[in-house]
């Protein structure tokens, strides 16, 4: 009888353990799209279909809204690989952190000149300052590349620095010919796992080298990966400590901005599209993600959005990849309000992005 009782207890414990494992597996693998996005109604996700339709009618362009890992609203052509401007820059940061995970980089503080020796010969009249540029400097946009300041001395929203980062990481760190850059993006490090449907493109002749073209629905997959803590259907896509670091790096609000006075750069690579001193950081910019922190004017960057909101922004926010953890929501839009000028984001675009998120907030019909 004792043996029978012990066997029964063992069986019960095994059943409980199996149930617990099933619960963990289900929690880790639900809330993601499969080969194609699953859909649910706006009302089932707590939103008004009528208000979302009005929202997209007013914005124009194209976009989608994802809640709970399911698509609840979309407009325009969500399959078109559009030049998404700077809203894609967090993807470059992700690939840099993957290089750390793969030990291709020893740390973010490794000198870029180790991989780009020509940096060591730049600007002898400035003490060869570019020899000290690190990957962290490039990610935080404090490299001083192409400017008079030393690395780490001043902030500059600098697309020449981003061009240097993209080329160095993809071509030199990953040892990939430029015509095969798309393979890094769409391969097992990222796209093949999260299931990019429209194969984002880094090699288009229509854009600067390294400038990303991506569809709305694929950008939403990347944003969902970040919302899910860097995991995808139970698979860790970026080691936890590196993922936490990738969502850090925000500069203090009083960190100085560049004077704008320029120095020499390498002939190649060039800019990914913009200049060397385009906007302020407002104490809200990290490794290419903008965070909803308190700006120097005493208000949040996006006053009408939840405090946990963060996003990638392009053309002053007319292209955006938004993550709202409090709502379990991702919103992506391309080329909205195309007749308006939202740049610079720090002075104009932040208020326009806030208006859009306020409209999304007001479209909610239940918490």
Residue 113 to residue 160: CA distance in whole angstroms: 15
What are the pLDDT digits (tens) for 216-272? 999 999 999 999 999 999 999 999 999 999 999 999 999 999 999 999 999 999 999
**Which pLDDT belongs to residue 302?**
98
What are the pLDDT digits (tens) for 15-40? 444 444 333 334 445 799 999 999 99
Residues 299 and 177 sit within 8 Å (Cβ to Cβ): no
Mean pLDDT of all residues in 85-96: 96
CA 361 distance to own-chain centroid: 22
CATH code for the domain defined by 43-82+216-254+281-362: 3.40.710.10
Mean pLDDT of all residues in 332-358: 97
Task: List beta partners, residue 257.
Answer: 155
Q: What is the DSSP string of 102-143?
A: TTSSS-TTSBGGGT-GGGGGS-GGGTSGGGG-BHHHHHHT--
**Which pLDDT belongs to residue 147?**
98
Residue 295 to residue 356: CA distance in whole angstroms: 19
Among 247, 364, 345, 249, CA closest to 301: 345
* pTM summary value: 0.91
In the chain, what are the domain boundaries? 43-82+216-254+281-362
Mean pLDDT of all residues in 42-49: 98
Phi, psi of 167 (to 5 degrees): -65, -45
pLDDT band at 178; cut points 50, 70, 90:
confident
Cite the DSSP H helix spans in 30-109: 49-59, 89-101
**Which pLDDT belongs to residue 15?**
46
Q: How many helices (H) and strands (E) does the chain have?
A: 10, 10
């Amino acid at each position: 009888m004792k043996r029978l009782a012990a066997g029964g207890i063992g069986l019960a414990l095994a059943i409980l353990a199996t149930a617990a494992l099933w619960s963990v597996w289900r929690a880790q693998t639900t809330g993601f799209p499969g080969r194609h996005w699953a859909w649910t109604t706006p009302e089932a996700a707590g939103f008004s279909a009528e208000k979302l339709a009005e929202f997209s009618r007013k914005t124009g362009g194209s976009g989608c809204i994802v809640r709970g890992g399911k698509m609840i609203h979309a407009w325009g052509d969500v399959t078109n690989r559009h030049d998404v401007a700077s809203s894609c820059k967090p993807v470059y940061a992700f690939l840099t952190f993957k290089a750390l995970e793969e030990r291709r980089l020893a740390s973010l503080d490794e000198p870029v000149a180790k991989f780009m020796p020509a940096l060591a010969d730049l600007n002898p009249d400035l003490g060869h300052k570019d020899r000290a540029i690190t990957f962290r400097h490039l990610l935080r946009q404090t490299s001083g590349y192409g400017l008079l300041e030393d690395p780490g001395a001043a902030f500059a929203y600098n697309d020449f620095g981003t061009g240097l980062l993209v080329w160095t990481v993809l071509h030199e760190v990953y040892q990939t010919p430029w015509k095969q850059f798309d393979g890094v993006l769409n391969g097992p490090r990222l796209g093949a796992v999260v299931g990019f449907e429209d194969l984002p493109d880094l090699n288009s002749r229509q854009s600067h080298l390294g400038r990303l073209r991506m569809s709305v629905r694929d950008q939403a997959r990347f944003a969902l990966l970040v919302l899910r803590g860097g995991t995808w259907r139970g698979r860790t896509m970026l080691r936890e400590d590196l993922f936490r670091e990738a969502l850090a790096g925000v500069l203090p609000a009083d960190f100085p901005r560049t004077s704008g006075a320029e120095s020499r750069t390498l002939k190649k690579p060039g800019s990914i599209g913009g200049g060397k001193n385009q906007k302020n950081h407002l104490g809200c910019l990290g490794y290419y993600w903008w965070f909803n922190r308190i700006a120097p004017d005493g208000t949040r960057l996006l006053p009408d959005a939840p405090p946990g909101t963060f996003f990638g922004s392009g053309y002053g926010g007319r292209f955006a990849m938004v993550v709202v953890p409090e709502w379990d929501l991702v919103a992506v839009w391309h080329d909205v309000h195309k007749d308006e000028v939202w740049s610079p984001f720090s002075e104009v675009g932040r208020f326009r992005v806030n208006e859009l998120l306020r409209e999304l907030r007001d479209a909610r019909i239940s918490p």
